[in-house]
Amino acid sequence: MDSVYFDNAATTQMREDVIDAITDVMRYNFGNPSSSHSFGRSSKSLIEQSRKTIASCLNVSASEIIFTSGGTEADNLVLKSAIKDLEVSHIVTSKIEHHAVLHTIEELQKTHKFSLSYVNLDAHGNIDYVHLETLLQADKKTLVSLMHINNEIGNILNIKRVADLCKANDALFHSDAVQSVGHYNLDLQDIKVDFLAASAHKFHGPKGVGFTFVRKNTGLKPQIIGGDQERGLRAGTESIHNIVGLEMALKMAYKNLDKEKLYVKELKQYFINKIKFDIPEVTFNGHSADLNKSTFTLVNVCLPIPPKKAAMLLFQLDLKGIACSKGSACQSGSSQNSHVLSQILSDEDLQKPSIRFSFSIYNTKEDVDYVIAVLKAFI
């Protein structure tokens, strides 16, 4: 076998229909959407049609969808404006959020005064909802920022419960939903989240484009200043071909959701069963082996390999054509431990290699067999 791609939580292969849609736009719709002539109007209409499609998938108004360069920009937009413009004086988050959230908060602390609270986590990385409710009792304007699905261990947040808690306590709620949009149905009329971030390349769309859901009348202000694009919330000429690619990818993801979710879910279960049988000493991080408590798209395993040998594991997997990750793609080149696993694993388990394998519709059981055979031989 030449190669196996099991790093879909980092990025996904684009669908052929998405590539075709992008190519058509690049070839025929090159006008600047801010221009008033026919070329500009043609481009603008594509953007607005994409906005309507995406809004329909989430059951929101088209005016509540703001296109960005991806999830990181979406997170930055919400967090920075919340502190600078919305008079938020208290942020509640967790220590296992994506660095797009944690590092943005760290930077904001250097220039703005606000209190910061971390919600307690259990041994599996789940948030303590009772503690969250206690933190919301603070007599301050509060923004809660908690991701829907953790990108490293796959734990699923009860996003509706958090949204309801925030609403009951007059707090704003922002969720990084990069790992769930396109994989789970999200009805944002039922889930009263105020802000939500998504990125196209996580659901077989192009890189460099995503969106922020901004509920009406929240008062959010732009952080990239320039023209009046995106309802004045995100200046800069829109990437039309990427936006259309995002629309096509999301539309196809939800059109095929039930069938594709079942396929990937069965593949994950096959991986779990196979690795347990062939490598009995393996353990699973977070709730990643529980299909009811974690996303169907990934599993994070802790392997019984001594530290000196573990240093060569990813290198050896790469030599065998296997793509996977020791954490999020944003830190896979780092020698540091995962900030997520550091919160939930013992010192002893942190010395062992933990690998994230993430799946898509383009993977097969033969891929699983090959990867586990290589792991077993290495061990």
SS (H, E, C) 256-272: CHHHHHHHHHHHHHHHH
- Smallest CA-to-CA distance from 186 within 211, 220, 207 is with 211
Which amino acid would we find at residue 248? M
Q: Give 15's DSSP letter.
A: P
CA 191 vs CA 76, 86, 149, 188, 223: distances in Å:
22, 21, 15, 5, 26
Decide: helix, strand or coil at residue 349: helix
- Smallest CA-to-CA distance from 365 within 279, 273, 271 is with 271
Q: Rounded CA gap, 101 and 299, in Å?
A: 23
Q: Which of 57, 166, 302, 330 is catalytic?
A: 330
Decide: helix, strand or coil at residue 7: strand
Catalytic residue flag (residue 166): no
Which run of H or E residues covers position 165?
A: helix 159-168
- Supply φ then ψ for residue 177, to 5 degrees: -110, 30
Location of structure tokens 């830190």: 331
Q: Please report the beta strands in the chain, taking only residues with DSSP state E, as ranges in sequence order.
A: 4-5, 65-68, 90-93, 115-118, 142-145, 172-176, 195-199, 210-214, 283-284, 298-302, 322-323, 354-358
Which run of H or E residues covers position 378?
A: helix 365-378
Q: Rounded CA gap, 212 and 198, in Å?
A: 7
Q: Rounded CA gap, 139 and 268, in Å?
A: 44
Which run of H or E residues covers position 135?
A: helix 129-135
Cite the active site residues: 330
